[in-house]
Structure 1
Amino acid sequence: MVRKLKGNRPAQAAAGNQMDILKQAQAMQQQMLQVQEELKGKELTVSVGGGAVNVKVNGQKEVLEIKLSDEILKEAASDKEMLEDLILSGINEAMRQAEELAENEMNKVTGGINIPGLF
């Protein structure tokens, strides 16, 4: 005769593992929120055109400041397109660096796991 044991040990163990995974995911989510908040305070400044255009952004890819040198403003009177290209170039490079910074900071939390929609 086979005797049944009370309770379902494999199911209980699986439920315990699921709870541990859920707790880890919640802790990771909190850490990611903290990193996103910290990225607001991290600033990057990119200089293009030999210092003619400086673009400052934060780690959340918000443009904080654009500075133009006096020389480039004088040249812009006769070559508006050049100034526009330099500004665009500066913004694009600043955004690329901010994205890289954010990825590196998040990878510290996620261990490099690709989480869709994170950024």
Structure 2
Amino acid sequence: MKDMNELLQAAQEAAQNIQAQMADAQAGLDKIEVEGASGGGLVKIRATAKGRILGVALDDSLLNPSEKHMLEDLIAAAINDARAKADAAGSAEMSKMTAGLPLPPGFKLPF
């Protein structure tokens, strides 16, 4: 049987390995792009799976001052759509990484 020091060393190495994998996964989330849309595609928001907004595209037909309130609502809806897709993409990537770990149900990484 291994002595306590060897067991602690192995646990520490495993924890460091998992921490490095988590850091790599988090960095990868910023490379995955999603697009949220509203108004039938009149407003589009590009974002990363980490939630960073990359760009906003507005159809020219929306650039009417009398439609300002509708445009604001469409932008908010597109951002929310992009955020939901970013969350889904992030969850999918993280579940790939944690697939082999014996985590209790409902336990989410990163902490």
TM-score, shorter chain, exceeding 0.5:
yes
Q: Secondary structure at the match of 2:41?
A: coil
From 48, 71, 82, the counterpart of 2:70 = 82
Query: What whole-Å deviation, never above 9, does each CA across 1:10-65 have from its counterpart, x for those lacking one?
Result: 7x1x4333322221221111111111111221111122101110000012110000
Query: What whole-Å deviation, never above 9, does each CA across 1:53-99 have from its counterpart, x for those lacking one?
Result: 0000012110000010011223xx22322111110011011111111
Q: Where has structure 1 moved over 6 Å in runs of 4 or more? A: none
- How far residue 115 of structure 1 moved from its aligned partner, in angstroms, is 4.4
Report matched runs for 1:1-119 at 5 Å.
12=3, 14-74=4-64, 77-111=65-99, 113=103, 114-115=107-108, 118=110
TM-score of the superposition, structure 1-length normalised?
Answer: 0.76
Q: 1:96 and 1:85 mapped to 2: Cα distance?
A: 17
Gaps of 5+ in 1: 1-8
Conservation of the 8 A alpha-carbon contact between 1:28 and 1:110: no
* Sequence identity (%): 31
Q: What is the root-mean-square deviation in Å for CA atoms of aligned residues?
A: 2.1
Q: Which has the larger radius of gyration?
A: 1
TM-score of the superposition, structure 2-length normalised?
Answer: 0.81
The structure showing larger relative contact order (alpha-carbon pairs under 8 Å, at least 6 residues apart) is 2
